[in-house]
Protein backbone atom coordinates (compact mmCIF):
# COMPACT_ATOMS: atom_id res chain seq x y z
CA UNK A 1 0.00 0.00 0.00
CA UNK A 2 1.43 3.34 -1.01
CA UNK A 3 1.85 5.83 1.80
CA UNK A 4 0.10 9.12 1.46
CA UNK A 5 2.61 11.98 0.99
CA UNK A 6 3.61 13.56 4.26
CA UNK A 7 2.62 17.02 3.06
CA UNK A 8 -0.95 15.80 2.41
CA UNK A 9 -1.17 14.24 5.88
CA UNK A 10 0.09 17.45 7.45
CA UNK A 11 -2.52 19.50 5.61
CA UNK A 12 -5.33 17.23 6.75
CA UNK A 13 -4.09 17.32 10.33
CA UNK A 14 -4.12 21.10 10.21
CA UNK A 15 -7.69 21.05 8.85
CA UNK A 16 -8.75 18.78 11.70
CA UNK A 17 -7.11 21.05 14.26
CA UNK A 18 -8.92 24.05 12.80
CA UNK A 19 -12.16 22.08 13.00
CA UNK A 20 -11.63 21.40 16.69
CA UNK A 21 -10.87 25.05 17.34
CA UNK A 22 -13.98 26.17 15.48
CA UNK A 23 -16.16 23.79 17.49
CA UNK A 24 -14.75 25.04 20.78
CA UNK A 25 -15.40 28.61 19.71
CA UNK A 26 -18.82 27.94 18.19
CA UNK A 27 -20.41 26.86 21.49
CA UNK A 28 -19.76 30.05 23.44
CA UNK A 29 -20.54 32.12 20.37
CA UNK A 30 -23.92 30.42 19.92
CA UNK A 31 -24.78 30.94 23.57
CA UNK A 32 -23.77 34.59 23.35
CA UNK A 33 -25.89 35.11 20.24
CA UNK A 34 -28.86 33.40 21.88
CA UNK A 35 -28.70 35.86 24.72
CA UNK A 36 -29.03 38.93 22.60
CA UNK A 37 -26.89 41.45 20.89
CA UNK A 38 -24.96 42.39 23.98
CA UNK A 39 -26.02 46.10 23.98
CA UNK A 40 -27.75 45.89 27.40
CA UNK A 41 -26.25 47.80 30.32
CA UNK A 42 -24.58 45.33 32.73
CA UNK A 43 -25.71 45.74 36.35
CA UNK A 44 -24.64 44.00 39.50
CA UNK A 45 -27.33 42.38 41.62
CA UNK A 46 -26.89 45.04 44.31
CA UNK A 47 -27.34 47.86 41.79
CA UNK A 48 -30.46 46.15 40.43
CA UNK A 49 -32.04 45.94 43.92
CA UNK A 50 -31.34 49.62 44.64
CA UNK A 51 -32.77 50.78 41.31
CA UNK A 52 -35.76 48.48 41.82
CA UNK A 53 -36.43 49.98 45.27
CA UNK A 54 -36.12 53.50 43.84
CA UNK A 55 -38.69 52.71 41.15
CA UNK A 56 -36.22 53.06 38.26
CA UNK A 57 -36.98 49.60 36.79
CA UNK A 58 -39.75 49.51 34.18
CA UNK A 59 -39.86 45.77 33.39
CA UNK A 60 -37.93 42.62 34.20
CA UNK A 61 -37.67 38.99 33.04
CA UNK A 62 -36.21 36.58 35.60
CA UNK A 63 -34.25 33.83 33.87
CA UNK A 64 -32.34 30.77 35.03
CA UNK A 65 -29.00 32.57 35.08
CA UNK A 66 -29.83 36.22 34.38
CA UNK A 67 -32.35 39.03 34.90
CA UNK A 68 -33.04 41.15 31.83
CA UNK A 69 -35.34 44.08 31.37
CA UNK A 70 -35.64 47.85 30.80
CA UNK A 71 -35.20 50.95 32.92
CA UNK A 72 -37.43 53.98 33.01
CA UNK A 73 -34.39 55.91 31.79
CA UNK A 74 -34.36 56.84 28.11
CA UNK A 75 -31.36 56.89 25.77
CA UNK A 76 -30.56 59.57 23.18
CA UNK A 77 -33.05 58.05 20.71
CA UNK A 78 -35.87 58.04 23.26
CA UNK A 79 -35.95 54.26 23.71
CA UNK A 80 -35.86 52.72 27.20
CA UNK A 81 -32.43 51.58 28.37
CA UNK A 82 -32.04 47.78 28.56
CA UNK A 83 -30.19 46.16 31.41
CA UNK A 84 -28.76 42.73 32.22
CA UNK A 85 -27.97 41.24 35.63
CA UNK A 86 -25.94 38.06 36.12
CA UNK A 87 -27.39 35.69 38.66
CA UNK A 88 -24.26 35.60 40.77
CA UNK A 89 -25.13 36.49 44.36
CA UNK A 90 -28.91 36.04 44.17
CA UNK A 91 -29.29 32.27 44.27
CA UNK A 92 -30.50 32.32 47.89
CA UNK A 93 -32.49 35.58 47.78
CA UNK A 94 -36.02 34.58 48.88
CA UNK A 95 -37.31 38.17 48.74
CA UNK A 96 -36.76 38.69 45.02
CA UNK A 97 -40.40 37.90 44.05
CA UNK A 98 -41.71 40.08 46.93
CA UNK A 99 -39.57 42.99 45.79
CA UNK A 100 -40.80 42.61 42.24
CA UNK A 101 -44.45 42.50 43.45
CA UNK A 102 -43.96 45.58 45.61
CA UNK A 103 -42.23 47.74 43.01
CA UNK A 104 -43.75 46.37 39.81
CA UNK A 105 -47.42 45.89 40.87
CA UNK A 106 -48.70 46.20 37.31
CA UNK A 107 -47.27 42.77 36.44
CA UNK A 108 -44.50 44.09 34.24
CA UNK A 109 -42.23 41.24 35.24
CA UNK A 110 -42.25 37.60 34.26
CA UNK A 111 -40.14 34.43 34.50
CA UNK A 112 -38.16 32.93 31.62
CA UNK A 113 -39.45 29.57 30.43
CA UNK A 114 -37.17 26.64 31.36
CA UNK A 115 -35.06 25.23 28.53
CA UNK A 116 -36.62 22.52 26.43
CA UNK A 117 -35.17 18.99 26.42
CA UNK A 118 -33.55 19.69 23.04
CA UNK A 119 -31.80 22.77 24.38
CA UNK A 120 -30.84 21.11 27.67
CA UNK A 121 -29.58 17.77 26.36
CA UNK A 122 -29.39 17.47 22.59
CA UNK A 123 -27.42 20.64 21.81
CA UNK A 124 -24.66 20.13 24.48
CA UNK A 125 -24.49 16.44 23.62
CA UNK A 126 -24.08 17.19 19.92
CA UNK A 127 -21.29 19.67 20.67
CA UNK A 128 -19.51 17.08 22.82
CA UNK A 129 -19.79 14.37 20.14
CA UNK A 130 -18.43 16.73 17.47
CA UNK A 131 -15.41 17.56 19.62
CA UNK A 132 -14.71 13.87 20.28
CA UNK A 133 -14.96 13.11 16.55
CA UNK A 134 -12.58 15.93 15.66
CA UNK A 135 -10.02 14.83 18.26
CA UNK A 136 -10.24 11.24 17.02
CA UNK A 137 -9.61 12.44 13.49
CA UNK A 138 -6.47 14.33 14.57
CA UNK A 139 -5.11 11.31 16.48
CA UNK A 140 -5.84 8.90 13.63
CA UNK A 141 -4.14 11.20 11.09
CA UNK A 142 -1.11 11.31 13.40
CA UNK A 143 -0.71 7.53 13.37
CA UNK A 144 -3.24 6.20 15.87
CA UNK A 145 -3.85 6.57 19.55
CA UNK A 146 -0.40 5.22 20.30
CA UNK A 147 1.13 8.32 18.71
CA UNK A 148 0.03 10.41 21.67
CA UNK A 149 3.34 9.35 23.25
CA UNK A 150 5.33 9.58 20.01
CA UNK A 151 7.54 12.31 21.42
CA UNK A 152 9.39 9.72 23.51
CA UNK A 153 10.51 7.92 20.34
CA UNK A 154 13.70 8.83 18.51
CA UNK A 155 13.27 10.50 15.14
CA UNK A 156 16.41 9.70 13.16
CA UNK A 157 16.78 10.14 9.43
CA UNK A 158 16.81 6.64 7.97
CA UNK A 159 18.73 6.01 4.77
CA UNK A 160 17.99 2.49 3.61
CA UNK A 161 20.19 0.49 1.25
CA UNK A 162 20.45 2.31 -2.05
CA UNK A 163 19.26 5.61 -0.54
CA UNK A 164 22.69 6.78 0.64
CA UNK A 165 24.52 7.44 -2.64
CA UNK A 166 27.62 8.86 -0.94
CA UNK A 167 30.67 6.59 -1.23
CA UNK A 168 34.37 6.87 -0.54
CA UNK A 169 34.78 8.18 -4.09
CA UNK A 170 33.07 11.36 -2.91
CA UNK A 171 35.57 11.77 -0.07
CA UNK A 172 38.94 13.38 -0.80
CA UNK A 173 41.83 14.63 1.25
CA UNK A 174 41.52 12.02 4.02
CA UNK A 175 43.21 8.90 2.67
CA UNK A 176 44.31 7.64 6.10
CA UNK A 177 40.84 8.13 7.55
CA UNK A 178 39.23 6.33 4.61
CA UNK A 179 41.62 3.41 5.08
CA UNK A 180 40.64 3.23 8.74
CA UNK A 181 36.93 3.33 7.96
CA UNK A 182 37.13 0.67 5.25
CA UNK A 183 37.57 -1.83 8.05
CA UNK A 184 34.26 -0.68 9.51
CA UNK A 185 32.64 -1.37 6.15
CA UNK A 186 34.02 -4.87 6.15
CA UNK A 187 32.72 -5.40 9.70
CA UNK A 188 29.24 -4.46 8.55
CA UNK A 189 29.38 -6.61 5.41
CA UNK A 190 30.85 -9.74 6.96
CA UNK A 191 30.78 -9.43 10.76
CA UNK A 192 31.44 -13.13 11.34
CA UNK A 193 34.78 -13.35 9.51
CA UNK A 194 36.59 -11.14 12.00
CA UNK A 195 35.79 -13.42 14.92
CA UNK A 196 37.58 -16.45 13.51
CA UNK A 197 40.75 -15.64 15.48
CA UNK A 198 38.94 -14.47 18.60
CA UNK A 199 38.70 -10.77 17.69
CA UNK A 200 35.57 -8.68 17.77
CA UNK A 201 34.53 -5.69 15.72
CA UNK A 202 34.47 -2.30 17.47
CA UNK A 203 31.21 -1.20 19.04
CA UNK A 204 31.76 2.49 18.46
CA UNK A 205 33.95 4.74 16.33
CA UNK A 206 34.40 8.39 17.28
CA UNK A 207 35.29 10.89 14.54
CA UNK A 208 37.18 13.84 15.97
CA UNK A 209 38.02 16.95 14.01
CA UNK A 210 37.48 20.65 13.46
CA UNK A 211 34.11 21.86 12.10
CA UNK A 212 33.78 21.41 8.36
CA UNK A 213 36.42 18.70 7.94
CA UNK A 214 33.89 16.17 6.60
CA UNK A 215 32.98 13.97 9.56
CA UNK A 216 29.33 13.65 8.58
CA UNK A 217 30.27 13.01 4.95
CA UNK A 218 32.58 10.20 6.05
CA UNK A 219 29.80 8.62 8.11
CA UNK A 220 27.42 8.64 5.15
CA UNK A 221 30.17 7.21 2.94
CA UNK A 222 30.56 4.29 5.37
CA UNK A 223 26.83 3.58 5.14
CA UNK A 224 26.86 3.96 1.37
CA UNK A 225 29.77 1.56 0.97
CA UNK A 226 28.37 -1.02 3.37
CA UNK A 227 24.87 -0.87 1.88
CA UNK A 228 23.15 -1.09 5.28
CA UNK A 229 20.43 1.03 6.90
CA UNK A 230 21.88 4.27 8.20
CA UNK A 231 20.25 5.98 11.20
CA UNK A 232 21.42 9.60 11.41
CA UNK A 233 20.52 12.16 14.07
CA UNK A 234 22.09 14.93 16.13
CA UNK A 235 22.96 14.77 19.80
CA UNK A 236 20.54 17.58 20.58
CA UNK A 237 17.64 15.47 19.20
CA UNK A 238 17.70 13.48 22.45
CA UNK A 239 17.24 16.59 24.60
CA UNK A 240 13.62 17.37 25.50
CA UNK A 241 11.67 19.41 28.00
CA UNK A 242 10.20 16.35 29.69
CA UNK A 243 12.29 14.31 32.10
CA UNK A 244 13.11 10.81 30.85
CA UNK A 245 12.36 11.47 27.20
CA UNK A 246 16.05 11.48 26.21
CA UNK A 247 16.69 8.06 27.75
CA UNK A 248 13.54 6.68 26.11
CA UNK A 249 14.68 7.94 22.72
CA UNK A 250 18.07 6.26 23.16
CA UNK A 251 16.36 2.93 23.91
CA UNK A 252 14.03 3.34 20.96
CA UNK A 253 16.91 4.19 18.60
CA UNK A 254 18.91 1.09 19.48
CA UNK A 255 15.78 -1.08 19.28
CA UNK A 256 15.07 0.17 15.75
CA UNK A 257 18.68 -0.37 14.72
CA UNK A 258 18.59 -3.90 16.18
CA UNK A 259 15.47 -4.67 14.16
CA UNK A 260 17.25 -3.69 10.92
CA UNK A 261 20.67 -5.21 11.73
CA UNK A 262 23.21 -5.05 10.23
CA UNK A 263 22.93 -1.29 10.48
CA UNK A 264 24.85 1.86 11.31
CA UNK A 265 23.91 4.51 13.87
CA UNK A 266 25.45 7.96 13.45
CA UNK A 267 25.16 10.61 16.18
CA UNK A 268 26.46 14.02 15.13
CA UNK A 269 27.61 16.54 17.75
CA UNK A 270 27.96 13.86 20.41
CA UNK A 271 29.10 16.44 22.98
CA UNK A 272 25.47 17.67 23.22
CA UNK A 273 24.64 14.60 25.36
CA UNK A 274 28.10 13.18 26.10
CA UNK A 275 29.63 15.93 28.24
CA UNK A 276 31.33 14.86 31.45
CA UNK A 277 28.76 14.36 34.18
CA UNK A 278 28.84 16.97 36.91
CA UNK A 279 30.60 19.56 34.74
CA UNK A 280 27.56 21.83 34.54
CA UNK A 281 27.00 22.42 38.26
CA UNK A 282 24.88 20.54 40.79
CA UNK A 283 21.38 19.60 39.64
CA UNK A 284 21.63 21.54 36.41
CA UNK A 285 21.73 18.72 33.88
CA UNK A 286 19.89 15.73 35.39
CA UNK A 287 18.04 15.00 32.16
CA UNK A 288 21.25 15.06 30.09
CA UNK A 289 22.96 12.81 32.63
CA UNK A 290 20.09 10.32 32.44
CA UNK A 291 20.34 10.32 28.65
CA UNK A 292 24.09 9.75 28.83
CA UNK A 293 23.65 6.93 31.36
CA UNK A 294 21.17 5.20 29.05
CA UNK A 295 23.57 5.57 26.13
CA UNK A 296 26.33 3.96 28.18
CA UNK A 297 24.03 1.07 29.08
CA UNK A 298 23.01 0.54 25.46
CA UNK A 299 26.64 0.54 24.32
CA UNK A 300 27.38 -2.17 26.87
CA UNK A 301 24.22 -4.11 26.08
CA UNK A 302 24.17 -4.58 22.32
CA UNK A 303 26.43 -7.07 20.55
CA UNK A 304 28.62 -5.75 17.75
CA UNK A 305 28.79 -9.24 16.25
CA UNK A 306 25.22 -8.76 15.07
CA UNK A 307 26.36 -5.99 12.76
CA UNK A 308 25.43 -2.78 14.62
CA UNK A 309 28.12 -0.11 14.88
CA UNK A 310 27.74 3.30 16.50
CA UNK A 311 29.51 6.10 14.68
CA UNK A 312 29.70 9.53 16.34
CA UNK A 313 31.32 12.86 15.57
CA UNK A 314 32.44 15.78 17.71
CA UNK A 315 34.78 18.74 17.52
CA UNK A 316 35.13 18.94 21.31
CA UNK A 317 36.50 15.56 22.44
CA UNK A 318 37.98 17.06 25.60
CA UNK A 319 34.48 17.66 27.01
CA UNK A 320 33.26 14.06 26.66
CA UNK A 321 32.69 11.85 29.69
CA UNK A 322 35.60 9.42 30.25
CA UNK A 323 33.15 6.54 30.66
CA UNK A 324 31.85 7.19 27.14
CA UNK A 325 35.18 7.10 25.30
CA UNK A 326 36.74 4.16 27.14
CA UNK A 327 37.52 0.92 25.25
CA UNK A 328 34.45 -1.28 25.00
CA UNK A 329 32.20 1.60 24.08
CA UNK A 330 33.99 3.85 21.62
CA UNK A 331 36.84 1.50 20.80
CA UNK A 332 38.37 3.72 18.14
CA UNK A 333 38.96 7.42 17.77
CA UNK A 334 39.64 8.57 14.22
CA UNK A 335 41.10 12.06 13.85
CA UNK A 336 39.74 13.92 10.82
CA UNK A 337 42.36 16.63 10.56
CA UNK A 338 42.56 19.67 8.31
CA UNK A 339 43.69 18.56 4.85
CA UNK A 340 47.25 19.20 3.70
CA UNK A 341 48.27 20.69 0.34
CA UNK A 342 47.67 17.46 -1.59
CA UNK A 343 44.41 16.84 0.24
CA UNK A 344 43.12 20.32 -0.54
CA UNK A 345 43.89 19.84 -4.22
CA UNK A 346 41.95 16.56 -4.20
CA UNK A 347 38.99 18.17 -2.45
CA UNK A 348 38.95 21.01 -4.96
CA UNK A 349 38.84 18.47 -7.81
CA UNK A 350 35.84 16.76 -6.23
CA UNK A 351 33.89 19.99 -5.78
CA UNK A 352 34.88 21.28 -9.23
CA UNK A 353 33.45 18.27 -11.08
CA UNK A 354 30.30 20.14 -12.04
CA UNK A 355 32.01 23.50 -12.59
CA UNK A 356 33.52 24.37 -16.00
CA UNK A 357 37.14 25.37 -15.32
CA UNK A 358 39.45 27.39 -17.51
CA UNK A 359 42.04 25.27 -19.31
CA UNK A 360 44.91 27.24 -17.82
CA UNK A 361 43.85 26.88 -14.20
CA UNK A 362 45.98 24.82 -11.84
CA UNK A 363 44.09 23.59 -8.78
CA UNK A 364 47.40 22.77 -7.11
CA UNK A 365 48.19 26.49 -7.14
CA UNK A 366 44.76 27.29 -5.73
CA UNK A 367 45.30 24.72 -2.98
CA UNK A 368 48.62 26.35 -2.10
CA UNK A 369 46.76 29.63 -1.54
CA UNK A 370 44.36 28.08 0.99
CA UNK A 371 46.40 26.88 4.00
CA UNK A 372 44.19 25.93 6.92
CA UNK A 373 41.03 25.60 4.80
CA UNK A 374 38.79 22.62 5.57
CA UNK A 375 36.49 20.80 3.18
CA UNK A 376 33.53 23.10 3.85
CA UNK A 377 35.71 26.16 3.16
CA UNK A 378 36.92 24.69 -0.13
CA UNK A 379 33.38 23.82 -1.21
CA UNK A 380 32.35 27.39 -0.45
CA UNK A 381 35.38 28.66 -2.38
CA UNK A 382 34.40 26.74 -5.53
CA UNK A 383 30.85 28.04 -5.22
CA UNK A 384 32.03 31.64 -4.75
CA UNK A 385 34.33 31.37 -7.78
CA UNK A 386 31.49 30.00 -9.93
CA UNK A 387 29.18 32.82 -8.84
CA UNK A 388 31.83 35.44 -9.60
CA UNK A 389 32.44 33.99 -13.06
CA UNK A 390 28.69 33.98 -13.79
CA UNK A 391 28.41 37.57 -12.54
CA UNK A 392 31.18 38.60 -14.95
CA UNK A 393 29.52 36.85 -17.89
CA UNK A 394 32.22 34.19 -18.33
CA UNK A 395 31.67 30.66 -19.58
CA UNK A 396 34.37 29.11 -17.36
CA UNK A 397 35.96 29.75 -13.97
CA UNK A 398 39.52 31.04 -14.00
CA UNK A 399 42.28 31.68 -11.50
CA UNK A 400 41.21 35.29 -10.95
CA UNK A 401 37.79 34.14 -9.68
CA UNK A 402 39.43 31.70 -7.29
CA UNK A 403 41.78 34.39 -5.98
CA UNK A 404 38.87 36.76 -5.50
CA UNK A 405 36.91 34.01 -3.75
CA UNK A 406 39.80 33.31 -1.36
CA UNK A 407 40.03 36.99 -0.44
CA UNK A 408 36.27 37.17 0.11
CA UNK A 409 36.41 34.18 2.48
CA UNK A 410 39.43 35.50 4.38
CA UNK A 411 38.74 39.22 4.60
CA UNK A 412 35.19 39.71 3.34
CA UNK A 413 33.83 41.47 0.25
CA UNK A 414 35.50 44.53 -1.23
CA UNK A 415 34.33 47.97 -0.13
CA UNK A 416 35.38 50.19 -3.02
CA UNK A 417 32.64 52.72 -2.32
CA UNK A 418 34.07 53.58 1.08
CA UNK A 419 35.19 57.22 1.03
CA UNK A 420 38.75 57.61 2.34
CA UNK A 421 40.59 60.92 2.65
CA UNK A 422 43.85 61.24 0.72
CA UNK A 423 45.90 61.49 3.92
CA UNK A 424 44.35 58.32 5.30
CA UNK A 425 44.85 56.57 1.97
CA UNK A 426 48.57 57.40 2.09
CA UNK A 427 48.82 56.16 5.67
CA UNK A 428 47.15 52.86 4.73
CA UNK A 429 49.53 52.49 1.78
CA UNK A 430 52.59 53.13 3.99
CA UNK A 431 51.29 50.66 6.57
CA UNK A 432 50.75 47.82 4.10
CA UNK A 433 54.02 48.58 2.33
CA UNK A 434 55.81 48.19 5.67
CA UNK A 435 54.28 44.75 6.19
CA UNK A 436 55.21 43.59 2.70
CA UNK A 437 58.78 44.94 2.74
CA UNK A 438 59.71 43.48 6.13
CA UNK A 439 58.18 40.10 5.27
CA UNK A 440 60.01 40.02 1.93
CA UNK A 441 63.40 40.92 3.42
CA UNK A 442 63.38 38.31 6.21
CA UNK A 443 64.00 34.58 5.67
CA UNK A 444 61.60 31.84 6.79
CA UNK A 445 58.55 34.00 6.05
CA UNK A 446 55.77 33.20 3.59
CA UNK A 447 56.04 34.88 0.16
CA UNK A 448 53.89 37.97 -0.34
CA UNK A 449 51.17 37.21 -2.86
CA UNK A 450 49.28 40.50 -2.89
CA UNK A 451 49.26 43.92 -1.25
CA UNK A 452 46.18 46.14 -1.48
CA UNK A 453 44.70 49.24 0.12
CA UNK A 454 41.15 48.34 -0.91
CA UNK A 455 39.14 47.74 2.25
CA UNK A 456 37.28 44.51 2.88
CA UNK A 457 34.76 43.38 5.44
CA UNK A 458 33.92 45.53 8.43
CA UNK A 459 37.31 46.70 9.63
CA UNK A 460 40.13 45.90 7.16
CA UNK A 461 41.22 49.10 5.40
CA UNK A 462 43.93 47.20 3.55
CA UNK A 463 45.77 43.92 3.86
CA UNK A 464 48.81 41.93 2.79
CA UNK A 465 48.08 38.43 1.54
CA UNK A 466 50.74 35.74 1.90
CA UNK A 467 50.92 32.51 -0.08
CA UNK A 468 52.82 29.69 1.66
CA UNK A 469 54.81 27.52 -0.70
CA UNK A 470 54.17 24.45 1.48
CA UNK A 471 52.27 23.51 4.62
CA UNK A 472 54.09 24.10 7.88
CA UNK A 473 53.55 21.73 10.74
CA UNK A 474 56.33 23.15 12.94
CA UNK A 475 57.63 26.67 13.49
CA UNK A 476 61.16 27.48 14.59
CA UNK A 477 62.10 30.31 16.90
CA UNK A 478 63.50 32.24 13.94
CA UNK A 479 60.29 31.94 11.93
CA UNK A 480 58.23 33.14 14.91
CA UNK A 481 60.60 36.07 15.53
CA UNK A 482 60.37 37.10 11.90
CA UNK A 483 56.59 36.75 11.91
CA UNK A 484 56.44 39.23 14.80
CA UNK A 485 58.74 41.60 12.91
CA UNK A 486 56.53 41.53 9.82
CA UNK A 487 53.47 42.21 11.98
CA UNK A 488 55.19 45.25 13.51
CA UNK A 489 56.38 46.48 10.11
CA UNK A 490 53.15 48.38 9.41
CA UNK A 491 53.07 50.58 12.50
CA UNK A 492 56.86 51.17 12.32
CA UNK A 493 56.53 52.28 8.68
CA UNK A 494 53.91 54.84 9.73
CA UNK A 495 56.25 56.15 12.42
CA UNK A 496 59.28 56.37 10.11
CA UNK A 497 57.55 57.92 7.09
CA UNK A 498 54.69 59.92 8.65
CA UNK A 499 56.17 60.73 12.05
CA UNK A 500 53.45 59.12 14.21
CA UNK A 501 51.39 55.96 14.44
CA UNK A 502 47.63 55.42 14.22
CA UNK A 503 45.13 53.04 15.78
CA UNK A 504 45.12 50.85 12.66
CA UNK A 505 47.74 48.57 14.20
CA UNK A 506 45.49 47.09 16.91
CA UNK A 507 45.07 43.63 15.40
CA UNK A 508 48.79 43.50 14.43
CA UNK A 509 49.84 44.19 18.02
CA UNK A 510 47.39 41.61 19.38
CA UNK A 511 48.71 38.87 17.11
CA UNK A 512 52.37 39.79 17.70
CA UNK A 513 51.94 39.84 21.48
CA UNK A 514 50.12 36.52 21.40
CA UNK A 515 52.97 34.88 19.47
CA UNK A 516 55.56 36.29 21.89
CA UNK A 517 53.56 35.15 24.92
CA UNK A 518 53.21 31.62 23.58
CA UNK A 519 56.94 31.50 22.79
CA UNK A 520 57.69 32.22 26.45
CA UNK A 521 54.88 30.39 28.25
CA UNK A 522 54.21 27.36 26.03
CA UNK A 523 57.10 26.74 23.64
CA UNK A 524 59.97 27.11 26.13
CA UNK A 525 61.83 29.55 23.83
CA UNK A 526 63.07 31.84 26.60
CA UNK A 527 66.75 31.43 27.62
CA UNK A 528 65.97 33.06 30.97
CA UNK A 529 62.99 30.87 31.97
CA UNK A 530 64.26 27.69 30.37
CA UNK A 531 62.35 24.76 28.89
CA UNK A 532 59.19 25.16 30.96
CA UNK A 533 55.54 25.26 30.03
CA UNK A 534 53.40 27.60 32.11
CA UNK A 535 50.08 26.65 30.50
CA UNK A 536 47.53 28.94 28.94
CA UNK A 537 44.81 27.96 31.39
CA UNK A 538 46.82 29.42 34.25
CA UNK A 539 46.72 32.88 32.71
CA UNK A 540 43.01 33.18 33.58
CA UNK A 541 43.53 32.49 37.29
CA UNK A 542 42.36 35.11 39.72
CA UNK A 543 44.58 37.20 42.00
CA UNK A 544 46.56 34.98 44.34
CA UNK A 545 45.72 31.79 42.37
CA UNK A 546 48.70 31.93 40.01
CA UNK A 547 50.74 28.70 40.02
CA UNK A 548 53.98 30.69 39.91
CA UNK A 549 55.48 33.43 42.01
CA UNK A 550 55.33 37.15 41.38
CA UNK A 551 59.01 37.07 40.47
CA UNK A 552 58.33 34.47 37.77
CA UNK A 553 55.39 36.50 36.48
CA UNK A 554 57.64 39.53 36.23
CA UNK A 555 60.27 37.51 34.37
CA UNK A 556 57.61 36.30 31.92
CA UNK A 557 56.58 39.90 31.23
CA UNK A 558 60.21 40.95 30.77
CA UNK A 559 60.88 38.11 28.33
CA UNK A 560 57.80 38.99 26.27
CA UNK A 561 58.98 42.58 26.22
CA UNK A 562 62.48 41.49 25.13
CA UNK A 563 61.14 39.43 22.21
CA UNK A 564 58.92 42.30 21.08
CA UNK A 565 61.78 44.83 21.37
CA UNK A 566 64.16 42.66 19.33
CA UNK A 567 61.52 42.12 16.64
CA UNK A 568 60.83 45.86 16.55
CA UNK A 569 64.55 46.64 16.18
CA UNK A 570 64.85 44.12 13.37
CA UNK A 571 61.91 45.58 11.45
CA UNK A 572 63.00 49.18 12.09
CA UNK A 573 66.48 48.48 10.69
CA UNK A 574 65.02 47.07 7.48
CA UNK A 575 62.61 49.96 6.98
CA UNK A 576 65.18 52.67 7.70
CA UNK A 577 67.80 51.04 5.46
CA UNK A 578 65.31 50.66 2.60
CA UNK A 579 63.19 53.74 3.14
CA UNK A 580 63.37 54.68 -0.55
CA UNK A 581 61.93 51.28 -1.47
CA UNK A 582 59.25 51.72 1.18
CA UNK A 583 58.27 55.10 -0.28
CA UNK A 584 58.15 53.64 -3.80
CA UNK A 585 55.94 50.74 -2.81
CA UNK A 586 53.62 53.19 -1.02
CA UNK A 587 53.44 55.43 -4.09
CA UNK A 588 52.63 52.47 -6.33
CA UNK A 589 49.86 51.39 -3.95
CA UNK A 590 48.32 54.87 -3.91
CA UNK A 591 48.34 54.92 -7.72
CA UNK A 592 47.29 51.34 -8.47
CA UNK A 593 45.61 50.35 -5.15
CA UNK A 594 46.78 46.73 -5.56
CA UNK A 595 50.18 45.14 -6.17
CA UNK A 596 50.64 41.45 -6.87
CA UNK A 597 53.71 39.45 -5.99
CA UNK A 598 55.32 40.03 -9.40
CA UNK A 599 55.01 43.81 -9.18
CA UNK A 600 56.48 43.78 -5.68
CA UNK A 601 59.43 41.66 -6.83
CA UNK A 602 60.06 44.10 -9.70
CA UNK A 603 60.25 47.05 -7.33
CA UNK A 604 62.54 45.16 -4.96
CA UNK A 605 64.81 44.07 -7.83
CA UNK A 606 65.29 47.70 -8.87
CA UNK A 607 65.92 48.86 -5.31
CA UNK A 608 69.21 49.27 -3.48
CA UNK A 609 70.44 47.57 -1.37
CA UNK A 610 69.23 44.11 -2.41
CA UNK A 611 66.64 42.64 -0.06
CA UNK A 612 68.38 39.31 0.46
CA UNK A 613 70.10 39.78 3.82
CA UNK A 614 69.07 40.99 7.24
CA UNK A 615 70.91 44.14 8.36
CA UNK A 616 73.63 43.44 10.91
CA UNK A 617 72.03 45.80 13.41
CA UNK A 618 68.88 43.65 13.38
CA UNK A 619 70.43 40.28 14.16
CA UNK A 620 69.05 38.27 17.06
CA UNK A 621 70.92 38.71 20.29
Give the active site residues: 432
Q: How many CB atoms lie within 10 A of CB 468?
A: 16
Listing DSSP states for 451-505 in one string gives EE---BTTTBS-EEEE--SS--S---HHHHHHHHHHHHHHHHHHHHHHSS--GGG
What is the sign of the dihedral through the CA atoms of 541, 542, 545 and 549? positive
Q: At what angle do helices 579-592 and 477-498 cross, to 10 degrees?
A: 80
Q: What does the H/E/C string look like for 577-616?
A: HCHHHHHHHHHHHHHHCEEEHHHHHHHHHCCCCCCCCCCH
String of b and e for 415-440 (b: at least 16 CB within 10 Å)? Answer: eeeeebeeeebbbbbbbbbbbbbbbb
String of b and e for 27-51 (b: at least 16 CB within 10 Å)? Answer: eeeeeeeeeeeeebeebebeebbeb
Closest C-alpha to 124, from 21, 35, 23, 20: 23
563 contacts 423 by C-beta, under 8 angstroms: no
User: How many helices and strands, by DSSP H and E, does the chain display?
Assistant: 20, 14
Interatomic CA distance for residues 409 and 152, integer angstroms: 42
The 463-466 sheet, strands edge to edge: 463-466, 448-452, 594-596
Rg (CA), the chain: 39
Q: How many CB atoms lie within 10 A of CB 52?
A: 20
What DSSP character marks residue 112? P
Amino acid sequence: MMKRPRSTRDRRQKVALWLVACIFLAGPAAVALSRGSGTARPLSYGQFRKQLERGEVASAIVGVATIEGTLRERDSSGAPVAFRVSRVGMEHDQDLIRLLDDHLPDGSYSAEEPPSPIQALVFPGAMFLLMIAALSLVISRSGGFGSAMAFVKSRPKLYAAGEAPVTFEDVAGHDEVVTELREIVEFLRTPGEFGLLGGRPPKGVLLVGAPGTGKTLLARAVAGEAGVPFFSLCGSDFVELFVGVGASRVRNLFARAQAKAPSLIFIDELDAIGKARGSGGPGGHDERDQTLNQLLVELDGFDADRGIILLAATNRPETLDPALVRPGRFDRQVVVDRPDLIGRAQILKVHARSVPLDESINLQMVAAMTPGFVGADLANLVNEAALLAARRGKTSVGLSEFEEGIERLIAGPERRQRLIRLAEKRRIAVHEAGHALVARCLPETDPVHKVTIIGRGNGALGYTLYRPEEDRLLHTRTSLDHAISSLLGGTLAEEIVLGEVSDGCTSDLQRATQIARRMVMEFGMSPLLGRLNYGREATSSGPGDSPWSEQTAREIDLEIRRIMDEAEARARAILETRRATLERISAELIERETLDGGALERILAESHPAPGAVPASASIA
